[in-house]
Amino acid sequence: MNSMPSSITPMRVAIFSGNYNYIMDGPARALNRLVAYLERQNIEVMVFAPTAKEAVIEHNGTLISVPSITLPMRSEYRLGLGLTPRVKARLKAFKPTIFHLAAPDLLGYSALRQAKKWGLPVVSSFHTRFDTYARYYGIAAVEKYVTKYLHNFYDQCDQVYAPSESMADELRQENLKTDLRIWSRGVDCDRFNPARRDLAWRRSVGFADDDVVIGFTGRLVLEKGLGFFAETIELLEKQGLAHKVLFVGEGPERNRMQKRLPKAHFTGHLSDEPLARAYASSDIFFNPSISETFGNVTLEAMASGVPCVCAEATGSRSLVLHDKTGFMATFGDHAAFASHLSALAKSEKLRKTFGAAAIDAAHMFEWDAILGGLVDNYREALDYGDHKCLAPGV
């Protein structure tokens, strides 16, 4: 028989992710915020994801560990091996009414097939342009095949949530046929704000009060555009621009970046108040990545009153207002990025003007309103989806 509408049947959300608590990245942070919000709304939720021996996030909600293996070339990440009998038994006992897939991996594909078998609505959130990763690891020839797989995966979902209108537009141009909606990201403006700027901390890491600090925050991995970042900084050095460089984050490329930019300061992984302090204690935020679908770090920098110089890509296009809150340029154009960074480094007035505008723009992203809109999408998927519930006990 047809599944009952969500106004009668309590909503029980099963979330499937490739990472929920063992790597601090944008998707994991967004999903943890979502789970906390669902529980505050008295909505039952259970997360299925790989786990590691050591977690870096004190996760929200109930997490069911899925058997996994390490990924080749990126051993810090794990690949879930799908719905084993043990995991499927926990899922069945939970009696979900909707599946949310946060990654198009083996676990996500297994969950997609199970949702179809049980006749349950399935939605998915688009967090990362996995197809672009091939460019950074010497296997660019496989990009078109990865894109084809991703389209096949997302086209089978009832709803797909892009993090921005620019990302949704790009997916439409690629002829993704599913129901595309927006699940934007929010920022905690109480935590990330210019009042966190700390001159004493700057001095402790070797920055003078009048130094112009160019900051980068994120995983230190190739797909963040670190090679391009280093090349641009090297160009600034050749041009004789006075500046300092701050890296906030950890990852497999740290040693290589330290050798390439020996004058830069590396904090390692930071979170909470120390992270907010590092953002606000920078003067310019430089994000050349084209792999993000939203750009959480860019939004946090904006909330901290720091003007941003970013790649013209989906991760920044819906956040940065060119020549108002920062600058954007085409990835690969070293001269353009160097020119923008130089203009900001040479003008304190321009940095303050852009920084103030960035704060105003960041306040438009409020977490509760954004997550409430996502739950409304869940309800529509439950109420209007043409599904036949076949799962025993569901």
Structure tokens at 235: 């160009």
pLDDT in tens, 111-121: 999 999 999 99
Do 208 and 295 contact (CB within 8 A), yes or no? no
pLDDT tier for residue 4 given thresholds of 50, 70 and 90:
very low
At residue 340, the pLDDT reads 98
Dihedral of alpha carbons 84, 90, 91, 92, sign: positive
With bands split at pLDDT 50, 70 and 90, how would you rate the model's confidence at 384? Answer: low
**Per-residue tokens: 226:** 């670190």
Write the class of the CATH domain 12-186+367-384. alpha beta
User: How confident is the model over 50-82, as pLDDT tens digits?
Assistant: 999 889 889 999 999 999 999 876 778 898 999
Q: What is the mean pLDDT of residues 221-247?
A: 96
Which pair of structure tokens corresponds to residue 43? 């909505």
Tens digit of each residue's pLDDT (9 = 90 or more) over 350-373: 999 999 999 999 998 878 889 999
* Beta carbons of 239 and 271 less than 8 angstroms apart: no
| Superfamily of chain region 194-362 | Glycogen Phosphorylase B; (3.40.50.2000)
* pLDDT tier for residue 3 given thresholds of 50, 70 and 90: very low
For the cut 80, the answer to whether the pLDDT of residue 245 exceeds it is: yes
Tell me if 12-186+367-384 shares its fold with 194-362: yes
pLDDT per position as a tens digit, 300-313: 999 999 999 999 98
Mean pLDDT of 273-297: 92
**Residues 261, 284: Cα–Cα separation, whole Å:** 17
pLDDT at residue 314, rounded to an integer = 78
The Cα 55–Cα 27 span in angstroms is 15
| pLDDT above 60: residue 212 | yes
Q: Tokens 């199970």: give the residue.
A: 114
Q: What's the mean pLDDT in 212-234?
A: 95
Q: Provide the β-strand partners of residue 65.
A: 49
Instruction: Write down the residue that tokens 């929010």 correspond to.
Output: 186
Q: Which residue has better confidence, 327 or 7?
A: 327
pLDDT of residue 339: 98
**Residue 293 pLDDT greater than 90, yes or no:** no
Measured CA to CA in angstroms, residue 250 lies from 144, 281, 304, 310 at distances of: 30, 19, 21, 20
Instruction: State the sign of the Cα–Cα–Cα–Cα dihedral 106, 111, 117, 123.
Output: negative
Greater confidence (141 vs 26) lies with 26
Q: Which is more confident, 281 or 7?
A: 281
pLDDT at 2 over 70: no
Residue ranges of domains in the chain: 12-186+367-384, 194-362
Question: Mean pLDDT, to the nearest integer, of 236-252?
Answer: 96
What rounded mean pLDDT belongs to the chain? 90
